[in-house]
Amino acid sequence: MKALLVFMGVAAVGALVAVFLIVLNPADSGPGEKPVTAASPVTSAAASASPVARKSVLLDVKGAVIEEFSGDCADSEYPYLCRYVRKQLLAQDPQLLTRDGLMIQTTIDQRLQRVAQRAIDAHVHRDDPQVATQVMIVPGEGAIRTMATSHGDADGLAFPQGTTAMPYTLTAALAAGLRYDDGFPISDEYSAQSDDTFRNCANQAAGDRDLIVFNKEKDGNRFVTLRSGTLGAVNTFYLRLEEKVGLCETVRMAERLGLRSADGTPLREVQTFTLGVIGVDPISVANSYASLAARGRFCEPTVITEVRDGSGAPRPFPPRCRQVLDPAVADAVTGVLSDVLARSALKGVGREAAGMPGTADGYFAAWYAGYTPGLASAVSLGDPRSVYKYDLVDVTIGGRHYPQVVGTSIPGLIWKESMAEAVRGTRKTGFTRPDAERFGACPN
């Protein structure tokens, strides 16, 4: 749908009426567009001559108009983006939402937005009850490049992230001094010896000895290492690893990397945290993986870089970043996740890449999260009607039947297709190789 913005100014001398038209088709914006900035003729004329309130607009990373911004987002072509912008404006200054004529400079790349939307639409229909969402974030900056979803009224719905949570435990283990080939003998069944086996950050018992966890693949008793346990996403191994590293240490590591619960409350410190039972949204997951891609540099995710009002005075939204992890540890995690991706059917996005599939317990949600050196992304899929009532078993999505949906199926395909297109034509960069002496080198 084309959105038409009309700015009209009446000249002070004579009866000449200057009418300025900006026509935007979100599906057709490209290199030939003329960016609209605070210094453009449209803005300066409207600001100086218009006797009526002007509409606020969202601009993309290049300064081109995305759409009008009303604040309530009722008529937005991009409601997920619009509502997130509104949220960030409220956090910065609630008075901003009471003003007209704002020019809101965002971090959104419309080319990447279209790329992500096409990949989603190829696998999930708009009228499917299940919702797929993808977010792309620039590592080391926190800049959100895409916020695409299969349902226009969906806001990056919260789903349990499944096995995409395992890298937080892996990171905590490597930070604590473990190496790739350290491990434990395991079976296909796990139960805590006592409730005290896991303790939260208040040093309270957080285990559940009555809870029995099984592996999806039954491989019998065996010795599993950090490397092989991650490659196989082995549930019982990761509970043993969380037990050794510590529940509190695992949750705190996830928080440091940027994981947040969808409802804004502190992450729940529960025994199965490492299996991804917490409800999270794609921005949070993508940003936590972006911290790994940026070699341990965390940045608050942001979609706004600057806001100008009718006077043209800028209000910057500077990035907020800090180093939260030893770069060598982040490189070591990337080394393992690079192997995970390279040994799957999702390899080959045109750049060095690392990733982890996420299949939630009971197939209640499916994810894929991963990154190249320059772009991190997370894709979620679930049924918002009731996460724990409508699972992803024996379902038809995008016109195709699935016995069950796993992380490497729909979410993984969306991730691969969009990331391969997103990096096309960009400068090639590579990951820093893991410290072989400290962690043990990845096999070639």
Mean pLDDT (the chain) is 87
Tens-place pLDDT, residues 356-399: 999 999 999 999 999 999 999 999 999 998 888 999 999 999 99
Tens-place pLDDT, residues 271-317: 999 999 999 999 999 999 999 999 999 999 999 999 998 777 899 99
Beta bridge partners, 104, equal: 58, 307
What angle do the packed helices 166-175 and 235-245 form, to 10 degrees? Answer: 40
Report the percent of the chain where pLDDT is more than 90. Answer: 76
Taken in order 250, 252, 256, 258, the sign of the CA dihedral is: positive
Rounded to an integer, the average pLDDT of 415-444 is 88
Whether the per-residue pLDDT at 14 is higher than 80: the answer is no
Rounded to an integer, the average pLDDT of 18-38 is 35
Beta bridge partners, 357, equal: 368
Q: Which fold has domain 159-300+319-439?
A: Beta-lactamase (3.40.710)
**Cα distance between residue 275 and residue 168, in whole Å:** 10
**Cα distance between residue 230 and residue 292, in whole Å:** 16
Tens-place pLDDT, residues 36-55: 443 333 343 333 334 455 88
Whether the per-residue pLDDT at 30 is higher than 50: the answer is no
- What is the DSSP code string of 86-122? HHHHHHH-GGGGG-SS-EEEE---HHHHHHHHHHHHH
Rounded to an integer, the average pLDDT of 257-278 is 95
- 8 Å CB contact between 213 and 186: no
Residue ranges, CATH 3.40.710.10, the chain: 159-300+319-439
- 8 Å CB contact between 329 and 222: no
CA triple 421-425-430, angle to 5 deg: 90
Tens-place pLDDT, residues 124-158: 999 999 999 999 999 999 999 999 999 877 666 89
CA distances from 155 to 52, 80, 150, 185 (A): 33, 5, 10, 42
Tens-place pLDDT, residues 59-69: 999 999 999 99
Report the percent of the chain where pLDDT is more than 70. Answer: 86
Q: What is the pTM of this model?
A: 0.87
**Cα distance between residue 270 and residue 286, in whole Å:** 22
The model's confidence at residue 28, banded by pLDDT at 50, 70 and 90, is: very low
Whole-number pLDDT of residue 46: 36
Whole-number pLDDT of residue 53: 59
Whole-number pLDDT of residue 194: 95
Encoded tokens for 96: 């901003």
- What is the DSSP code string of 374-440? S-EEEEEEE-TT-TTTS-SEEEEETTEEEEE--TTTHHHHHHHHHHHHHTTTSPP--PPPP-HHHH-
How far separated are the first and last CA of the chain, in Å rounded? 49
Whole-number pLDDT of residue 151: 86
Whole-number pLDDT of residue 156: 66
Whole-number pLDDT of residue 440: 86
How do beta strands 213-214 and 314-316 pair?
unpaired
